[in-house]
Chains A and B, each alone.
Chain A
Amino acid sequence: MGVEIKVEDLSKSFGKQLIWGDVTLTVPAGEICVMLGPSGTGKSVFLKTLIGLLKPDKGSVVIEGTDIASCSEKELYEIRKLFGVLFQDGAMFGSMNLYDNVAFPLREHTKKSESEVRSIVMEKMDLVGLIGAEDKLPGEISGGMRKRAGLARALVLDPEIVLFDEPDSGLDPVRTSFLNQLIVDLNAQIDATFLIVTHDINTARTVPDNIGLLYHKHLAMFGPREMLLSSEEPVVRQFLNAQRVGPIGMSEEKDADELAAEADQELPPLPPIPMQLEPSNGIPRRSQREPGSWCREHGITPPPGSFEENMTMTTGG
């Protein structure tokens, strides 16, 4: 069963430049969360702060009673054994072949025999569809394969928390949807807490239980998927529906003139909320909620056409 991540009042800046401030959120145990944000809002920095690779300026990240931001080096290395992290480029060790890369954490942290290591590694390689590529070096394979190999390595120690840094960047749409299905299936299987950093709208709309949006140096909103997808909040609405109309501009924020010019433009209606991706074996995940339950509980009428089977994805406008 996964572990909860409690983030309180977290701020981080590089030099004088504030990346984001006062981020408070709780990633619930065993659920899938997606952290969204325009490029350059420090999503990756947020991820690195969660695993203690970067020290925040203030605030705390509490996992199983240990504050990552202030604990000792030794505690940090202990707590990191709970994590599996998929880096943007896979971060495979260039000097080892894929098999050794995936086996690396097992060999370092466990006293398993080589045959046990082999069976675990092959199982994970099979999971990500890399059987037959064990002897390749990371330099010899495509970015997508590196990413999947990175996922296999992140999973070998049966982590309680899995962090994904842009799992879908640089993958084709087919592989992305396979990967998204894999993420959902994995969550059903190992019940770990998943946090995905991405800016792929399709992933954000269909995969997670919760969505967070980082924008303009703060956490704009964090909550259940349906809450954000039915939100009328301009930033959330603009980003989740990939629209040009809204407060987010090409470089950062739009200035007053641009906003004034948009003022009388009619916003396109919110697109329907799609069904959440279900595990491929049809057995619901433990943290899965019934479609539309949040909207019902909070008396919000979802956009027309929501939660219909086989609906087409409509984003942009």
Chain B
Amino acid sequence: MTLAPLTATRVLRPVGVAGNLFAFGLDVGRSLFRRPFQLREFLQQAWFIASVTIIPTALVAIPFGAVIALQVGGLIKQFGAQSFTGSASVLAVVQQAGPIATALLIAGAGGSAIAADLGARKIREELDAMMVLGIDPIQRLVVPRVLACMLVAFFLNGLVTVVGVAGGYVFNVVLQDGTPGAYLASFTALAQLPDLWIGLVKALVFGFIAAIVACYKGMNAGGGPKGVGDAVNESVVITFLLLFVVNFVLSTIYLQIVPPKTG
């Protein structure tokens, strides 16, 4: 055996995995429109994902908003533009912190649960049994989970935004001696409605990616219980990586397309 083909396969393996993941995403996309829609599974999953993510998300959102308020507040004070603190805080929370915090929680809490669940089903041959019974696991299990993740991400994003802005308000007013009026009045000074839209779009995309990666990893788990553990681990790591890259891309595109609001 020569070394060259071996290295080639090794180098090309990640490309293959990426391709498989993408193909899986396409499969899921196609199955989204196939009837019958699994409403029960969807509601169960949405409830489940919401129940494991809501409280951690709210708890993460408060310090997130606070940190932004403290950081931006301190900086902006030096410029003497304290009246814009509210505006900066809103911009940061709505555009970045909201979707990112949502994504972390969806991937960390929801995605890991999905990957573990599907991985366990995979190694116990439940998925095979399902396919043999003539039921496509992508349509029966994956599609409801993907949609549930997207729905929950959408609402979590709203939650993070509200809690984050409120947290920022409290810190700015109580700790930094900002005036409540200035904080609220400057909300719309820099922030604009499209900011909200991009936040929501990001949340949906992140929910989609987190669910796809979790389902893909879960369904391709192998090699017994250890394989499930590996699948969960990999799914969280890959999701994080992907989400930050996608976030960067979406933010860049958004900033190019929508002109920033000036004063």
Contact = CB atoms under 8 A, between A and B. Distances in A.
Interface in A72-131: 73, 77-78, 80-81, 83, 85, 87-89, 91-94, 104-105, 108-109
A87 B133 contact: no
A244 B103 CA distance: 61
A91 B135 contact: no
B194 to A, nearest CB: 41
A48 B127 CA distance: 13
B126 A77 contact: no
Interface in B103-160: 120-121, 124-126, 128-136, 140
Contact of A51 (B120, B126, B132, B136): B132
Nearest to A108: B135
A53 interface: yes
Contact of B129 (A73, A77, A78, A91): A91
A105 B133 contact: yes
Contacts, number: 53
B133 A93 contact: no
A80 B120 contact: no
B129 A81 contact: no
Interface residues of B, number: 15
Interface string A35-74: 0000000000000100101000000000000000000010
A196 B35 CA distance: 35
B132 A83 contact: yes
B134 A87 contact: no
A48 B128 contact: yes
Interface of B is mostly: helix
A84 B252 CA distance: 53
B126 A80 contact: no
A46 B157 CA distance: 49
Given A91-B126, A93-B126, A94-B126, A80 B132 contact: yes
Given A77-B136, A94-B120, A87 B125 contact: yes
A94 B124 contact: yes
A93 B136 CA distance: 15
Interface in B50-70: none
B135 A87 contact: no
A124 B130 CA distance: 19
A109 B129 contact: no
Contacts of B125: 87-89, 91
> Which interface residue of B120, B128, B132, B140 has the most chain A CB atoms within 10 A?
B132
A94 B121 contact: yes
> Which interface residue of B124, B129, B131 has the most chain A CB atoms within 10 A?
B129
A48 B128 CA distance: 9
Contacts of A53: 128, 131-132
Contacts of B124: 89, 91, 94
Contacts of A150: 129
A93 B128 CA distance: 11
A77 B136 CA distance: 8
Contacts of B134: 77-78, 80-81, 105, 108-109
Contacts of A80: 131-134
Nearest to A79: B134
Contacts of A73: 136
Contacts of B140: 108
A85 B126 contact: no
Nearest to A83: B132
Interface string A137-167: 0000000000000100100010000000000
Interface of B: 120-121, 124-126, 128-136, 140
Given A91-B125, A94-B126, 16 more contacts: A48-B128, A77-B136, A78-B134, A80-B131, A83-B132, A85-B129, A85-B132, A87-B125, A88-B125, A91-B124, A91-B128, A92-B129, A94-B121, A105-B135, A108-B134, A108-B140
10 contacts: A53-B131, A78-B134, A81-B134, A85-B129, A89-B125, A91-B128, A93-B130, A94-B124, A105-B134, A109-B133
Q: Which 5 A-B pairs have the closest CB atoms?
A: A91-B129, A91-B125, A81-B134, A80-B134, A85-B132
